[in-house]
Chains A and B, each alone.
Chain A
Amino acid sequence: DGGITQSPKYLFRKEGQNVTLSCEQNLNHDAMYWYRQDPGQGLRLIYYSQIVNDFQKGDIAEGYSVSREKKESFPLTVTSAQKNPTAFYLCASSEDRSRMNTEAFFGQGTRLTVV
């Protein structure tokens, strides 16, 4: 089955800890994205990557880091510098951002809670 997989589905973090959210896709998509969603809110862009070994900050990148060492994988690390990390995190991919007209495919999300 082709798709985009996020893990884990639920994640609990203690204060001051870094945690890494996994995102893998087997759609052969060039572009990958991370969004954060708070209750009753829309999606806010954290980071995006158009090609391997390259990524760009989104609107709310502070306290987060990413890597894109493989085309299929785009992990997100929530660092201790992120003061309010409790949220629903969504990873997405699309064929090629430069075409500007391709749909995004989303994973099922990771719900992160600080305990």
Chain B
Amino acid sequence: SQKIEQNSEALNIQEGKTATLTCNYTNYSPAYLQWYRQDPGRGPVFLLLIRENEKEKRKERLKVTFDTTLKQSLFHITASQPADSATYLCALNRRALTFGSGTRLQVQP
């Protein structure tokens, strides 16, 4: 069956550093992949979408890569800030958007 795996352990980094989050998937070849941010007690908010023919996508301090050979996407936040602290979810479109379990990012001031 299809699996979407994100590191379940929280990622703790210092302010100003680059945070890198990983999303791996198996048994599927998505045409695109999405990243969302979720704050506690709230619904996820869309951040970026990357298509299979795009190796990299950027939006302000965010960068996403998509390696269809490795079946992996990396999500980077450069010059991280405490306000970036949240859970980040990757999602693939199968019958509907299917989400990974998310990785919690904590940026220390």
Contacts and interface: CB of A to CB of B under 8 A. Distances in A.
A103 B46 contact: yes
B98 interface: yes
Interface stretch (A14-22, A68-76, A78-86, A106-114): A106-114
Given A41-B101, A42-B102, A109-B41, A103 B49 contact: yes
A94 B97 CA distance: 10
Query: Which of the listed residues B43, B98, B99 has the most CB atoms from chain A within 10 Å of its own CB?
Result: B43
A105 B97 contact: no
Nearest to A49: B96
Contact of A90 (B31, B34, B43, B51): B43
A45 B98 contact: yes
A32 to B, nearest CB: 10
A107 B43 contact: yes
B4 to A, nearest CB: 8
Contacts, number: 61
Contacts of B44: 43, 90, 104, 106
Interface residues of A, number: 26
Query: Which of the listed residues B91, B99, B102 has the most CB atoms from chain A within 10 Å of its own CB?
Result: B99
Interface in A42-91: 42-43, 45, 48, 56, 58, 88, 90
Nearest to A42: B101
Interface of B: 4, 6, 8, 31-32, 34, 41-46, 49, 51, 89, 91, 93, 95-102
Given A35-B99, A41-B101, A42-B102, 6 more contacts: A42-B4, A97-B93, A104-B97, A106-B44, A108-B43, A109-B42
